[in-house]
Every structure is written in structure tokens, then in C-alpha cells.
Structure 1
Amino acid sequence: MDSIDVAVIGAGVVGLAIARATAALGLETLVLERNAHPGEETTSRNSGVIHSGIYYPNGSLKARLCVRGREMLYALCRTRAVSHRRCGKLIVAGESQVAALHALHERARANGVTDLVELDAEAVGRLEPEVRCVAALHSPSTGIIDVHELLLALLADLEAAGGSLILKSTVRAVRLAADSLVVMVESDHSVSELRCKWLVNCAGLAAVSLLQHIQGYPRSRLRQAYYAKGNYFACHGVRPFRRLVYPMPNEAGLGIHATLDMDGTTRFGPDVEWVEQPDYRVDPQRGESFYAAIREYWPTIPAGSLQPAYAGVRPKLVGPGFAAGDFDIEDAAAHGIPGLINLLGIESPGLTSSLAIGEHVALIISGKPN
């Protein structure tokens, strides 16, 4: 049986960032990915936005790791030549939302986001002539990134530090052994065992269901996984904005907002569609409901300009009718199994936070306080 220091389950952007961080500590690190390529699920189907840390409750993991991760991510982009653009973002408000906009600004300040500027309608018009609103927050540190290039950079750093990625390898079960965990891995219709000192469950959409197959994991801590599908539509033939444009957030999320591809193409989304299982098909009919939401801030959107783009699925720990929960990064102090770290409910801003999450987990493994 092969033995290593750290096994990471899941080669999305967060799993690779964690593996990169543990390999940099000199620990022999292996990433197990069930798909044929890294980042095939949540990572490759998000908006590619580098968030600044505005929305999240003060003191939450989302707030701390987003603010820290944003600066780490921009630094990585500079040093590794990962394509990105610090394009900025406008969060727009109507007449009845101005007080909530001020409150959002105060929350952002408490999170350490100190570069926001409140704008009136005239100032917004100078920045984005197509946008209609009463007031807005301008976030200059929000940006966009080429997610594929980021994955390649993380994988290159992992391999340069001696780590490895094994594709088409599905973790079926985990059992406890003396001073280690034994992982049963199915690959090419055969099953092998891998012994590790540390096991990081970063399986994204499958992270919660995997808990049921870990020997000794407390039944009282098992929970239900919820899947929030988000559909995106592209706006072809028109490029109305130079910045990202977001409505005020609501209980379900950040609303149907305008994001940009690296080539400048405008996309709108995501909406929230609760599904029983991940499903990436986009129903063209859902685009009809997008127009009314978009016209709240872009009243001149041409009829018929939206075309289905793609869909992603967010792994959530709370279901419909509840505000989004925090990241849950649990170690032995929570569940009692030495060497096991579970990352649950890693949704937005997971991409932005990825390097900070890697740092956070590496500190747990090295025994240093976070």
C-alpha cells in the first residue's frame, strides 16, 4: 500500500490551491480527481470574478478568506502571468435601496474593503452611460480572471513542489488506521488503497455525500447537500459595459448581474434554480425572465439579445428560503478524527478565496494558529 503525507480529494481550484500550499511545506501531496480533467465541475462553471469581499458577515470565513485571497490571487496573476483584468464593479441601487446600499458599504468597511466609493446617478453615468440607477457603490478592486490559466498555474506549482494529480480516480470509502487514514480509490475499474497522514475532503458537489463513507465520522454531523443551479445567458452583438454591474443582493444571492469574459463579451446571471442533482443544461425559456431583472439597471437591453451560455451548480449547506451559509472547514476539533479536514459549502467566493483557503488548511496541518 502506498503511503503519502497529504491526499486531497478534488482538483477544482480550491483543491489544487490546498495541494499547492501543502506541497510547499515539503509534504508529499497527491490530488485525487474523479473526472478526466481538473476543474470540470464548479470551478469551470462560475463567473470568473475576483470579488473584493463586500457582502459577507463580518468575521465570517467568507469575509476573511475573500479579502485575503483577493490580494493573494492578484499577486499570483502578476508573478505567473495569469490573464486577468481589474475592471471594477458597480453595485447599483434604486430609490428604495439607497439606505441598504449605505449599510452594505459599512459592512464592506468592517470586512477590510476600504476602497469603495459611493456614487450618485450622474457619476455613474460618466463611468457607464448605459446604466440607470439612483446611486451605486464603485468597487475598483473587483476583477475577472482566466480560470483555465489559473488552474494550470496552480497545477504547475504543485508539480514543481513534488506533488501529483491523479485523474479518473474516485474515492469510494475511508477507513481509520493507526496514525493514518486509508483511502479506497477506484480507478479504471480497479480498487486500490492509499494511506495518508492527512486527508482533505475538497470534493465540492460530492463533499457532503462523501462524509457517509468515512469510518468514524459522527452521524450527528451528517447533513443534507443542497444544489443551487445558476444559469447564465450571453448578450451577443452588444457590449454595453466596461465594468461588472450588480444589482443589490437579495436572500437568494447577488441577483442577475452583468459580468465580462476576458474578451469583453457580456454575460448575465446567475439565477437560482434549486435542483435535486447537478444538471448543466440551460433551458432557453429561462432567459425570458432575465429581461425584467436586467432592465432595472439597463433599460435599453435589446429584445432577443440573450442566448444560453452555460450553467453551474453551487454546493450549499442551507436550502431555499435561507440566507447563504458560511464556509465550513472542519478538522478533528469538530469531528474527532485526527488528520481529516472537510471543506463543505465552498461556493462563492470560493474562487477568490482559493489561495487563502489553501493557506488556512496548510496552517491547520502545520499546527500553527490561523
Structure 2
Amino acid sequence: MDELLELDCVVVGGGVVGLAIARRLAIAGRDVVLLESEPLTGSISSSRNSEVIHAGLYYPSGSRKAELCVKGKQDLYAYCRERHVPHRQCGKLVVASSPQEVAYLEKLLVQASANGVDDCRLIDASELRSMEPQIEGYAALLSPSTGIIDSHGLMEAYITDIEAHGGTIVVNSAVLDGELCAEGALLSVGGSDPFRAKAGLVINAAGLCAWSVSMGMHGLDPATIPQRHLAKGSYFSLSGRSPASRLIYPVPEQGGLGVHLTLDFAGQARFGPDVEWTVQPDYDVDLARAEKFYAAIRRYWPLLKDNMLQPAYAGIRPKTVGPDGGGGGDFVIQGPEETGHSGYVALYGIESPGLTASLAIADDVYLRLRRS
């Protein structure tokens, strides 16, 4: 570990966002090395989500989530078509299960329009029944531009682009600590082949570990690091045929979008995620949570029978706002101006719609570097 490697650009974190950033910089001509602590890229948060291409309905106007989701959705659909990444623009319905929730749908339609999502419309109970006979509600908001994607296929396409433009991906390589300096950063990297490196630019896109990476960076003002809150979301799969051909969402709950129905490319349905605030990542699915899933799902699909849900998987969403603050929070993307170091960029709270926004996030990081 005595040899000091001289590197141009290091991206820390091999999830879908880290891969997208490494791809963007490699295409721009940077000599990129991506460091992933796990044996495989994309094996944590990027493998434990709903695999939905979000339209950009919910997020406050002017937020990073709203802007990057809407732009990212357009970029992502175009990229998937160009690179033949499996995806389907199946659309979704946000269902009001009570008269009081109809008012929320009306507000959501206004919010969607303000975010630049102009293809949504409200439908009544009769049209909802016509479109999805097994789904019940007082009304629904139709979002035609919502879709599903093969997240692993997407990440493989990003990896192909990185390597085609000279980038390198190194797994089993966790950043242990570092020191920020005028010339960039000195990094200590662990794993089976530990090494030290001097990089002109370090981009922290480590997802759940972004906070620990930054806290290990000597010379970084701790005040720049936001609080971390973790929201666990469990998923259950359905035994039997899906009751709908579109994605079905309830009115959102605090900290998430509610227990919704999503589809895979074989047409099989899964439900989730719920919201369970936690301190440490834990990926076990508690069978006892199924009771709440049945109750939540039957609000829009009352024909769901007992014993039809099977535990599937769980994911952890990193947030900058906890339950006391409403559980929302925006993406935090800090360029050199915000971190105070020309060679350090940090991203925090990149949860949903991070996959949808991945190409747009990468463009945002690149533009921040161009301006610095």
C-alpha cells in the first residue's frame, strides 16, 4: 500500500447514479476510475427498488427531484430506445380510495402540470373500472408517461459506455478515508488489493455510504454534510395473475408513495414499498408486515385473497429529512462551490426517483464541474 497511484477522476459508488456519472465524465474525455465497495456494481439500493420510470408528479416545483426527474425521464426513454434496454411505458393510475382523497388528486394534477408533466388527466370511477376492472376507487389520476425498466440492463449499458470510453471499474474497493488538498484528494482504498491514490477529482456517489465517505474526508467542513435518515421499504410478490395492466398507486403516505402495485416484464405483480424508519440497513422482510400490506392493497383491490402475498425483498432509501420533518427531502448535489474544494463533489439523499433521474443527475454534476 506504499505506492501512490496518480488518477484523474474517481467516482465512489457503483450504483446506477455513480455509473451514470462515470459514464458522463468518460464520454467527456475524463480518465475515470469507479470504485465500488461490493463484489458487484448496483447490488445495494439499485437492485432493491420498484424499477419504475417516474413521470415527476409529486415533487415540489423547483426542487432538484422535480427538475431532474422530468428531464431524466425523457433522457432515459430515449437512451433505452437507442441502447435496447428493456422498458415499457405502461402508464400508472393514482387511485383515490375515499371521497376525501379525490381532492388530493386534483392538487396532484396541478402539481404535475407545474412540473412540466402535461399528459396527466383525472378519470372517474366508471372510466377507472373500464380501464382496470379489478381496481376500485372514487377517481384516479392517469399518468401515461410512467413506465418500468430493467434496472440491471440499464446499468449494464452504462458499464459498456464507461469501458468503451476508457473508464475502469474496480469492485471490492471501499474508500476507507481521504484527505482533501489543493490538487484534489488523497484516498486510502481497502479490499483484497488495498492501495493509495491521488486523484484530481473525487465524486462521492456512494448512496447509503455517502455520509461515511464524506465524514472520512479530512479537510471537508462537517457542516456541509446533511443529516442522514434511513427508510426501509419491504416488498411482497403476488401469487397469481396481476389484477392490472398498469401500475397502481394509492395516495402517498409520509416518507413514501404508499404500497403500490408494480409489474415485471413477465406481467407478474409485486407490492411495496412500505415505510419503516431504521438506523441501520436491514434487508430482511418481516412476515408480520404482510397484514398491513393486505389492508393497504385491499383499499384499491378488494378482491385480494388471503395467502396470496409472498415476501420478496427490501430496500433502504437514504433521506436527508426524517419522519419529524415529513420524511421527504430533496436530492443534495454539492459541487465544488458547496463542498469548498475544487476536487470534491458529494451527493446525498439520492433515493427515488434517482434511477429515473440518473442521466440528468450525471449532466448536473458535469455542468457543476464545468462552472467551477
Structure 1 segments of 4 or more deviating over 4 A?
A: none
Residue 183 of structure 1, CA deviation: 1.3
Contact (CA 8 Å) 2:14, 2:41: kept in 1 or not?
Answer: yes
Residue 72 (structure 2) aligns with: 69
Contact (CA 8 Å) 1:209, 1:225: kept in 2 or not?
Answer: no
1:160-215 deviation digits (Å, cap 9, x = unpaired): 01111000001011113342211111121x53111212110001011012221111
Q: Secondary structure at the match of 1:76?
A: helix
Residue 171 (structure 2) aligns with: 167
Matching residue within 305, 310, 321 for 1:318:
321
Residue 364 of structure 1, CA deviation: 1.5
Bigger CA drift: 62-71 or 95-104?
A: 95-104
Return the letter of the residue paired with 1:256.
V
Residue 118 (structure 2) aligns with: 114
1:298-309 equivalent positions in 2, closer than 5 A: 298-309=301-312
Q: What is the CA–CA distance in structure 2 between the aligned matches of 1:222 and 1:15, rounded to whole Å?
A: 19
Q: What is the CA–CA distance in structure 1 between the aligned matches of 2:292 and 2:314, rounded to whole Å?
A: 16
1:191-340 equivalent positions in 2, closer than 5 A: 191-323=194-326, 324-340=328-344
Return the letter of the residue paired with 2:104.
A
Q: What is the CA–CA distance in structure 2 between the aligned matches of 1:219 and 1:149, rounded to whole Å?
A: 37
Residue 187 (structure 1) aligns with: 191
Bigger CA drift: 94-103 or 177-186?
A: 177-186
Q: CA RMSD in A?
A: 1.2
Q: What is the CA–CA distance in structure 1 between the aligned matches of 2:181 and 2:330, rounded to whole Å?
A: 32
Return the letter of the residue paired with 1:297.
Y
Bigger CA drift: 84-93 or 334-343?
A: 334-343
1:191-246 deviation digits (Å, cap 9, x = unpaired): 31112121100010110122211111112234432111100000111311100000
1:88-128 deviation digits (Å, cap 9, x = unpaired): 00001121111111111101101000000110011111110
The unaligned stretches of length 5 or more in structure 2 are: none
Identity %: 48
Q: Secondary structure at the match of 1:350?
A: coil
Q: What is the CA–CA distance in structure 2 between the aligned matches of 1:12 and 1:287, rounded to whole Å?
A: 29
The unaligned stretches of length 5 or more in structure 1 are: none
Residue 365 of structure 1, CA deviation: 1.9
Return the letter of the residue paired with 1:349.
P
Residue 361 (structure 1) aligns with: 365
Contact (CA 8 Å) 2:85, 2:157: kept in 1 or not?
Answer: yes
Residue 271 of structure 1, CA deviation: 0.6
Q: Secondary structure at the match of 1:250?
A: coil
The alignment status of 1:156 with 2:160, answered yes or no, reads: yes
Q: What is the CA–CA distance in structure 2 between the aligned matches of 1:113 and 1:152, rounded to whole Å?
A: 29
Residue 35 (structure 2) aligns with: 32
Return the letter of the residue paired with 1:105.
L
Q: Secondary structure at the match of 1:343?
A: strand
Q: What is the CA–CA distance in structure 2 between the aligned matches of 1:178 and 1:136, rounded to whole Å?
A: 55
1:47-66 equivalent positions in 2, closer than 5 A: 47-66=50-69
